[in-house]
């Protein structure tokens, strides 16, 4: 892959597109422009992210068509990418970007390469009968949750903008304003990208994709004899860390299909995602997850399953299949252990523990058992533990119906606390997350033309660790009348 060494275009707004995917991987995409938006209007612009990318936010704001379809910034070469995927365990040999257009790869001032993609921008060759468009609510959800995750230190795609298209779309909920989100990603290479070519037996394209992914994400492996095996190691490591971070935050992705697993290790696709409140490992939010396959507590298991599907594809690239099967299986056998190590490190940090002790697993499990028995709020429990580390137990005890069980656990925890545990825990455990009821309030208001609640919530979730009197309404769980929360994929 020729990367930033190739000639770059100096584009309006500061975009510097290189478009290596379009250049280096012919046949793996369909060149296709986004649909023309009849009346584009830029509703939300991420000026901070624009600055990080070296973009001129004022010029971006003056060109809403770039973010809604129809007009394109200089140097963009829009394509729809091909990929497959296991969706809820069933294999779909052809999915692809059915409502998204990769405009190209922008080279930031630090020479890092970022995909710029429009989502909700109209039909493509992969739309499979859909209209390729999106409603405003799901696009604002992606913006809100992805930016919250970035503030929480979770590897994630980012959102640069949300634009109204000026036309309505029809969904089960009725007539809704149409919108496009501009997604920024380290890449859009998915496990399903490999599966697409492996399922077709097109080894040359599979190898080209693998070499491209390695050059883009693990360039130190280029040219090594065992590069595909070592690349697999890297993907496992990134995904194990990612899922451990999800679990530490009580985040439920909701559609952990192989087409939503990025080899970069970023969280991608914020459709039916949500955060648990009362701790319950079986929590499912997605309306289409009827078996609980992607429940909160199942996410580590699905991590291993998804890595097995990547291994099946990479096997086709290896010279000695018998030896490769042994090597790949050995790595798959180690996925659970790798995840467990990452998860325990996350939990030690959340509990403010000093060093490592073999008894830490039992300590964590003891707390989780007490939390599950009483349905204690996940986020507030760990935040109130930070207060408890500073000597204030009142807020923590209010979260537990069985205070005696909590009190029996506390001395074991105190014995393991770091000297500066309270300070460290407040910097690790957020006070504010995107609470489900607040997300719904903001999205419903936006659909009715009032964007102010969205901006108010965005300001809170992108500053997750700060204490303050203005935080209480955003830190508390949903009121009792909110009911069971159900999310939808947004298609």
State the Cα–Cα distance between residues 479 and 462, nearest whole angstrom. 23
Contact 407, 450 (CB under 8 A): no
Domain boundary (370, 399, 426) is at 426
pLDDT tens across 60-70, in order?
A: 999 999 999 87
Mean pLDDT of the 410-434 span: 97
Q: What is the pLDDT of residue 490?
A: 63
pLDDT tens across 94-110, in order?
A: 999 999 999 999 999 99
Asked whether the predicted pLDDT for residue 83 surpasses 90, the reply is yes
Share above pLDDT 70 across residues of the chain, in percent, rounded to a whole number:
97
For residue 130, name the pLDDT band (cuts at 50, 70, 90).
Answer: confident
Name beta bridge partners: 177. Answer: 168
* Distance from the Cα of residue 189 to its chain's centroid: 14
State the Cα–Cα distance between residues 100 and 123, nearest whole angstrom. 8
Q: What is the pLDDT of residue 294?
A: 96
Q: How would you label 10-26 residue by residue, b for 16+ Cβ within 10 Å and e otherwise?
A: ebbbbbbbbbbbbebbe
Share above pLDDT 90 across residues of the chain, in percent, rounded to a whole number:
91
Q: What is the pLDDT of residue 192?
A: 98
- 259 given a catalytic annotation: yes
State the Cα–Cα distance between residues 399 and 371, nearest whole angstrom. 9
Q: At what angle do helices 378-389 and 360-374 cross, to 10 degrees?
A: 120
| Residues contacting residue 11 through CB under 8 Å, at least 6 positions apart | 17, 73, 74, 75, 76
Contact 46, 160 (CB under 8 A): yes
Flag whether 154 is in a domain.
Answer: yes
Flag whether 171 is in a domain.
Answer: yes
Domain boundary (393, 426, 459) is at 426
Q: Which domain holds residue 72?
A: 12-191
Could you give the C-alpha distances from 155 to 66, 231, 376, 412, in angstroms and in order? 26, 18, 27, 32
Flag whether 435 is in a domain.
Answer: no
Asked whether the predicted pLDDT for residue 155 surpasses 80, the reply is yes
Mean pLDDT of the 233-244 span: 98
| Residues contacting residue 204 through CB under 8 Å, at least 6 positions apart | none
pLDDT tens across 302-326, in order?
A: 999 999 999 999 999 999 999 999 9
Give me the number of domains the chain comprises. Answer: 2
pLDDT tens across 214-230, in order?
A: 999 999 999 999 999 99
Domain boundary (191, 208, 225) is at 191
State the Cα–Cα distance between residues 183 and 468, nearest whole angstrom. 32
Flag whether 167 is in a domain.
Answer: yes
Out of 18, 259, 269, 289, which one is annotated catalytic?
A: 259
Flag whether 202 is in a domain.
Answer: no
Pairing between β-strand 174-185 and β-strand 158-171 as defined by DSSP bridges: antiparallel
SS3 state at 44 = strand
Flag whether 452 is in a domain.
Answer: no
Asked whether the predicted pLDDT for residue 419 surpasses 50, the reply is yes
Per 3-state DSSP, the chain is made up of helix, strand and coil in percentages (nearest 5) of 45, 15, 40
Flag whether 34 is in a domain.
Answer: yes
Flag whether 165 is in a domain.
Answer: yes
SS3 state at 123 = coil
State the Cα–Cα distance between residues 408 and 150, nearest whole angstrom. 36
pTM of the model: 0.95
Asked whether the predicted pLDDT for residue 43 surpasses 90, the reply is yes
pLDDT tens across 334-357, in order?
A: 999 999 999 999 999 999 999 999
Strand order in the sheet with 79-81: 29-31, 79-81, 100-107, 113-119, 174-185, 158-171, 41-45
């Amino acid at each position: 892959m020729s990367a930033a060494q190739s000639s770059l275009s100096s584009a309006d707004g500061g975009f510097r597109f290189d478009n290596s995917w379009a250049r280096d991987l012919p046949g793996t995409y369909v060149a296709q422009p986004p649909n023309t938006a009849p009346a584009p209007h830029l509703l939300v612009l991420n000026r901070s992210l624009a600055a990080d990318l070296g973009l001129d936010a004022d010029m971006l704001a003056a060109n809403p068509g770039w973010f809604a379809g129809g007009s394109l910034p200089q140097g963009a070469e829009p394509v729809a990418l091909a990929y497959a995927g296991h969706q809820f365990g069933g294999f779909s040999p052809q999915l692809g970007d059915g409502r998204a257009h990769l405009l190209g790869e922008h080279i930031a001032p630090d020479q890092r390469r970022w995909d710029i993609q429009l989502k909700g921008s109209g039909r493509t060759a992969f739309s499979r009968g859909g209209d390729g468009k999106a409603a405003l609510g799901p696009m604002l959800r992606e913006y809100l949750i992805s930016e919250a995750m970035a503030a929480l230190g979770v590897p994630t795609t980012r959102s640069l903008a949300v634009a109204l298209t000026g036309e309505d779309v029809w969904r089960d909920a009725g007539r809704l304003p149409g919108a496009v989100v501009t997604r920024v990603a380290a890449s859009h290479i998915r496990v399903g990208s490999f599966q697409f070519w492996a399922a077709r037996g097109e080894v040359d394209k599979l190898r080209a994709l693998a070499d491209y992914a390695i050059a883009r994400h693990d360039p130190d492996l280029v040219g090594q004899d065992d590069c595909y095996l070592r690349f697999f190691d890297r993907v496992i490591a990134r995904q194990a860390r990612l899922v451990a971070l999800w679990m530490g935050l009580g985040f439920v992705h909701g559609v952990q299909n192989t087409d939503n697993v990025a080899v970069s290790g970023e969280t991608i696709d914020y459709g039916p995602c949500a955060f648990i409140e009362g701790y319950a490992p079986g929590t499912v939010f997605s309306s289409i997850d009827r078996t609980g396959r992607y429940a909160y507590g199942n996410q580590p298991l699905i991590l291993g399953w998804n890595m097995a599907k990547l291994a099946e594809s990479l096997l086709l690239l290896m010279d000695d299949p018998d030896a490769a099967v042994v090597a790949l299986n050995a790595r798959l056998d180690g996925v659970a252990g790798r995840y467990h190590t990452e998860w325990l490190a996350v939990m030690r940090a959340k509990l403010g523990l000093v060093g490592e002790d073999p008894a830490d697993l039992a300590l964590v499990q003891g707390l989780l058992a007490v939390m599950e028995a009483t349905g204690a709020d996940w986020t507030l429990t760990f935040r109130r533990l930070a207060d408890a580390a500073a000597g204030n137990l009142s807020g923590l005890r209010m979260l537990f119906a069985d205070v005696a069980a909590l009190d029996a656990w506390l001395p074991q925890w105190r014995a393991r606390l770091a000297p500066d545990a309270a300070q460290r825990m407040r910097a690790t455990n957020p006070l504010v997350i995107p609470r489900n009821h607040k997300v719904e309030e903001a999205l419903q208001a936006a659909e009715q033309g009032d964007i102010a609640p969205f901006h108010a919530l965005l300001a809170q979730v992108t500053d997750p660790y700060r204490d303050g009197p203005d935080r209480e309404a955003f830190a508390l769980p949903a009121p009792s009348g909110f009911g069971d929360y159900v999310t939808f994929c947004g298609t």
